[in-house]
Structure 1
């Protein structure tokens, strides 16, 4: 039950489940059972709360806010027959709903299960990749381009000692000049 006002009027007790309410709306083609308007629908009690009407599948029909507030605490049929949009077909449809809802009531009753989790919302989160994982992915994907060590070939010979002696001589020369 989504409405806080409904919960207060029924002392937090409700025999009407969301599945039952959805079935009720489907039965009346997502429109007001009285005037036929579609749009935002409210739960209208066929037997008013003041006359001990409960919030259960056989006592609730979808009604637009205008019809629901106009009906107030009246019995549905006596109020409905006084309306301009009253037709016998619509009244029969409501009566058929009452009979039908009583016959399918057991289909909606479920045994409570503590281990069953109800998924109410699915969320997809974007997470930044791990840097190390990205490095390994690149190394495995293109190993020739993303290697740690580059292989280089040298042709000819390099005299490391001669080069280091040349550098030492330059440094000594600068120290003397400066």
Structure 2
């Protein structure tokens, strides 16, 4: 078992370094707005009080914790998706990719501030 803990520790340190190196600007207010706009897991639709932040484009692939890149995910979907690219994961797990992308675009349009003028 010590090997597993060691691997987990190394992976955790790598993830922490990637997180700190990225330009992460998601505020607590924006996260609450994202949760309210989706109202459930963005991938499976399960209403869950313990929704987690999931990056559509994972940190390991250049993603960041930003308003445009974070969706709420239940623990199961977040663990299953891991650091996969979202559309490939949706197809592989036979989820409705077009419905997710449409809903994601709708939510983003509703969350973005109106342009000045």
Q: Equivalents in 2 of 1:62, 1:87: separation in Å? A: 16
Unmatched 5+ stretches in structure 2? 1-11
1:77 aligns with one of 77, 87, 91: 87
Q: Equivalents in 2 of 1:105, 1:68: separation in Å? A: 31
**Corresponding residue for 1:26?**
36
1:94: how far off? 1.5
Verify: 1:35 aligned to 2:75, yes or no. Answer: no
- Shift of the 91–43 alpha-carbon distance from structure 1 to 2, 3 Å rule, reads same
Check whether the contact 1:50–1:73 (CA below 8 A) recurs between aligned residues. yes
- Shift of the 87–50 alpha-carbon distance from structure 1 to 2, 3 Å rule, reads closer
1:73: how far off? 1.1
Verify: 1:61 aligned to 2:71, yes or no. Answer: yes
Structure with greater helix percent: 2
Considering only aligned residues, what root-mean-square deviation do their CA atoms show, in Å?
2.6
Report the number of matched residues.
Answer: 99
**Corresponding residue for 1:45?**
55
Q: Which has the larger radius of gyration?
A: 1
Q: Equivalents in 2 of 1:49, 1:38: separation in Å? A: 25
Check whether the contact 1:58–1:97 (CA below 8 A) recurs between aligned residues. no
TM-score by length of 1: 0.48
Relative contact order (alpha carbons < 8 A, sep ≥ 6): 1 or 2 greater? 2
1:87: how far off? 5.4
Q: Equivalents in 2 of 1:84, 1:52: separation in Å? A: 25
Q: How does 1:82-93 map to 2 (within 5 A)?
A: 82-86=92-96, 88-93=98-103
- Shift of the 94–48 alpha-carbon distance from structure 1 to 2, 3 Å rule, reads same
Q: Equivalents in 1 of 2:100, 2:56: separation in Å? A: 14
